[in-house]
């Protein structure tokens, strides 16, 4: 297959046919996982509406503008230790350096006074370095005799234990770039700059509903042939973990009127619509027909396991357009297709300049059967072996309906398109769940 290049999404909206024409080797009946990601990267337009939120509410949001430091952090040279501030040039290398203590510098205020040669100032962590002093001797190293301290030779270099003005951030320097997700560290950084608010992109609204007449909502009495709707809860968790807003539309009956109403209501409010069920080949239901009627939608067979069928497109409603992800119904297939395709697409919708999830390398503790020509995702448990190396074993039953194996697993072993069988001890790639699945 020809190598594909990731093209940046265009600001103009392309039809599905136009996107398909740009992708070399596009075959809706046998799409590689890579093709799917490339297709979606062209389909999804980021939400470009900004809002300003108090920093305490900014966690997990995506920065809409570059942030330039209004101040330097730290704002002064200061001490990294409790000890004695001195001139590094006065340190002796052959015998102890005696220095007379002429005052104490506390954090929070500048010490007022002059320090002559042969003198030092007792200093606390975070206190401003008195003028002319550039080195701090930690108090543990010091012998005190009356108002004189003695510094053993050879333990200190000039400049030790001093934090420099602006060593974290210099005023005028770019502190964070647009597209950064505000994680705890980034929120802390903005706080350190004294910024009480952040300009972030509006959170995309993601509407979700489950389809299928055999699907029971929680609270309904069990009946023969029916299963409870677990997809609604796994998808909700994954959407919320990303930081999107969820519009929970429950279960929609397999009737044209109910489906039409649901798709229209979703397209009116949401930036993306996720559904599960009813997209497999030979489905005797109305979901696919309704998607086709209401939107520009492609029905794919993806060379992957689990999760072969998927519908993708756009549903227009007035001047709004929502991206559609019609996921298969099987509970594990839903989670895998979400992790592999929907998640990166929603990240793009969020304006998040995210890196793809890093894949860990771990040695397989067992032989794995794998056919080249499709990407397989197996549920794995990563642990450390006696030698301290990462190893991965698969959870027992890999059936695409077996949700308990997703709970046991802490990652997905990703066996790439071209890969064949795996032998015991071979290294495989693992996508760690890390809180997102």
Applying CB under 5 A, the residues found at the interface with Mg ion are 212, 277-278
243 interacts with ligand AMP by CB under 6 A:
no
Q: What is the DSSP letter of 244?
A: -
Give the residue at shortest CB distance from Mg ion: 212
For residues 420 and 425, give the distance between their C-alpha atoms in angstroms, rounded to a whole number.
Answer: 15
Q: How far is the CB of 276 from Mg ion (least distance, A)?
A: 9
329 interacts with ligand AMP by CB under 6 A:
yes
The answer to whether 421 and 368 have CB atoms below 8 angstroms apart is yes
Q: Which does 60 bind (CB under 5 to 8 A by kind): Mg ion, ligand AMP, none?
A: none
Contacting residue, 65, 197, 230, 353, with ligand AMP by CB under 6 A = 230
For residues 149 and 135, give the distance between their C-alpha atoms in angstroms, rounded to a whole number.
Answer: 15
Question: What Cα–Cα distance (Å) separates residue 100 from each residue in 122, 137, 345, 389?
Answer: 10, 13, 65, 54
Q: Is there a cis peptide before residue 84, judged by omega within 30 degrees of 0?
A: no
Which residue, 60 or 329, is less far from ligand AMP as judged by CB? 329
The answer to whether 299 and 325 have CB atoms below 8 angstroms apart is no
229 interacts with ligand AMP by CB under 6 A:
yes
Give the residue at shortest CB distance from ligand AMP: 329
212 interacts with ligand AMP by CB under 6 A:
yes
Q: How far is the CB of 339 from Mg ion (least distance, A)?
A: 21
Pairing mode, if any, of strands 119-123 and 78-79?
A: unpaired
326 interacts with ligand AMP by CB under 6 A:
no
Beta bridge partners of 356: none
Element (DSSP H or E) covering residue 228: strand 227-228
Q: Which does 331 bind (CB under 5 to 8 A by kind): Mg ion, ligand AMP, none?
A: ligand AMP
Q: How far is the CB of 173 from ligand AMP (least distance, A)?
A: 49
Please provide residue 45's backbone torsions phi and psi, each rounded to the nearest 5 degrees: -105, 125
Q: Which does 307 bind (CB under 5 to 8 A by kind): Mg ion, ligand AMP, none?
A: none
77 interacts with ligand AMP by CB under 6 A:
no
Q: Which does 275 bind (CB under 5 to 8 A by kind): ligand AMP, Mg ion, none?
A: none
Stretch that binds ligand AMP, among 128-136, 210-218, 236-244, 266-274 (CB under 6 A): 210-218
| Residue 122 neighbours by CB under 8 Å, 6+ apart | 83, 84, 85, 101, 103, 104, 105
Stretch that binds ligand AMP, among 119-127, 147-155, 329-337, 353-361 (CB under 6 A): 329-337
Stretch that binds ligand AMP, among 56-64, 208-216, 257-265, 387-395 (CB under 6 A): 208-216
Which residue, 289 or 418, is less far from Mg ion as judged by CB? 289
Contacting residue, 32, 42, 69, 330, with ligand AMP by CB under 6 A = 330
Q: What is the DSSP letter of 312?
A: E
In the chain the first and final C-alpha atoms are separated, in Å, by 31
Which residue, 127 or 327, is less far from Mg ion as judged by CB? 327
Which positions from 248 through 287 interact with ligand AMP, judged by CB under 6 A? 276-278, 280, 283
For residues 430 and 407, give the distance between their C-alpha atoms in angstroms, rounded to a whole number.
Answer: 16
Q: How far is the CB of 256 from ligand AMP (least distance, A)?
A: 17
Stretch that binds ligand AMP, among 68-76, 198-206, 226-234, 242-250 (CB under 6 A): 226-234
The answer to whether 40 and 344 have CB atoms below 8 angstroms apart is yes
The answer to whether 277 and 209 have CB atoms below 8 angstroms apart is no
Residue written as tokens 């930690």?
A: 138
Contacting residue, 18, 51, 214, 426, with ligand AMP by CB under 6 A = 214
3-state DSSP helix/strand/coil % of the chain, to nearest 5: 20, 30, 45
Which residue, 204 or 277, is less far from Mg ion as judged by CB? 277
Contacting residue, 210, 275, 348, 419, with ligand AMP by CB under 6 A = 210
Stretch that binds ligand AMP, among 71-79, 88-96, 198-206, 328-336 (CB under 6 A): 328-336
- Residues found in the chain: 437
For residues 162 and 165, give the distance between their C-alpha atoms in angstroms, rounded to a whole number.
Answer: 10
| Residue 83 neighbours by CB under 8 Å, 6+ apart | 122, 123, 136, 137, 138, 139, 140, 141, 142, 161
215 interacts with ligand AMP by CB under 6 A:
yes
Per-residue x/- track, 367-406, ligand AMP (CB under 6 A): ----------------------------------x-----
Residues that bind ligand AMP in the complex, under the rule CB under 6 A? 210, 212, 214-215, 227, 229-231, 276-278, 280, 283, 328-331, 401
């Amino acid at each position: 297959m020809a190598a594909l290049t990731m093209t940046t999404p265009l600001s103009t909206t392309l039809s599905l046919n136009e996107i398909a024409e740009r992708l070399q080797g596009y075959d809706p009946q046998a799409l590689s996982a890579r093709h799917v990601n490339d297709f979606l990267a062209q389909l999804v337009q980021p939400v470009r509406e900004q809002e300003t939120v108090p920093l305490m509410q900014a966690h997990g949001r995506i920065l809409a503008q570059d942030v330039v430091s209004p101040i330097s952090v730290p704002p002064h040279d200061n001490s990294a230790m409790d000890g004695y501030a001195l001139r590094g040039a006065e340190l002796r290398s052959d015998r102890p350096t005696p220095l007379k203590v002429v005052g104490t510098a506390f954090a929070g205020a500048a010490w007022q006074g002059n320090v002559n040669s042969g003198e030092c100032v007792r200093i606390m962590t975070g206190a401003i370095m008195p003028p002319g002093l550039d080195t701090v001797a930690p108090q543990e190293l010091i012998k005190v005799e009356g108002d004189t301290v003695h510094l053993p030779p050879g333990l200190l270099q000039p400049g030790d234990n001093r934090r420099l003005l602006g060593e974290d951030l210099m005023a005028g320097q770019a502190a964070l770039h647009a597209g950064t997700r505000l994680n705890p560290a980034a929120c802390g950084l903005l706080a350190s700059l004294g910024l009480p608010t952040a300009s972030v992109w509006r959170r995309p609204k993601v509407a979700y509903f489950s389809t299928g007449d055999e699907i029971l909502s929680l609270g309904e009495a069990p009946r023969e042939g029916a299963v409870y709707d677990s997809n609604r809860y796994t998808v909700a968790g994954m959407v919320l973990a990303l930081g999107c807003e969820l519009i929970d539309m429950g279960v929609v009956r397999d009737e044209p009127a109910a489906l039409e109403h649901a798709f229209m209501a979703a397209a009116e409010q949401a930036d993306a619509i996720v559904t599960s069920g009813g997209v497999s080949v030979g489905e005797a239901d109305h979901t696919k027909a309704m998607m086709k009627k209401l939107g520009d939608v492609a029905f794919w067979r993806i060379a992957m396991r689990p999760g072969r069928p998927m519908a993708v497109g756009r549903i227009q409603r007035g001047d709004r357009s929502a991206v559609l992800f019609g996921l298969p119904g099987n509970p594990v297939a839903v989670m895998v297709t979400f992790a592999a395709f929907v998640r990166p697409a929603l990240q793009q919708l969020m304006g998040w300049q995210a890196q793809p999830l890093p894949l860990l390398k771990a040695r397989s503790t067992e032989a794995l059967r794998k056919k080249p020509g499709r990407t397989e995702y197996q549920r794995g448990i990563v642990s450390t072996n006696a030698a301290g190396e990462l190893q991965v074993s698969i959870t027992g039953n890999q059936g695409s309906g077996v949700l308990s194996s997703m709970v046991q697993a802490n990652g997905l072993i990703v066996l790439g398109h071209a890969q064949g069988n795996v032998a015991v001890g071979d290294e495989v790639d693992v996508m760690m769940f890390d809180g997102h699945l």
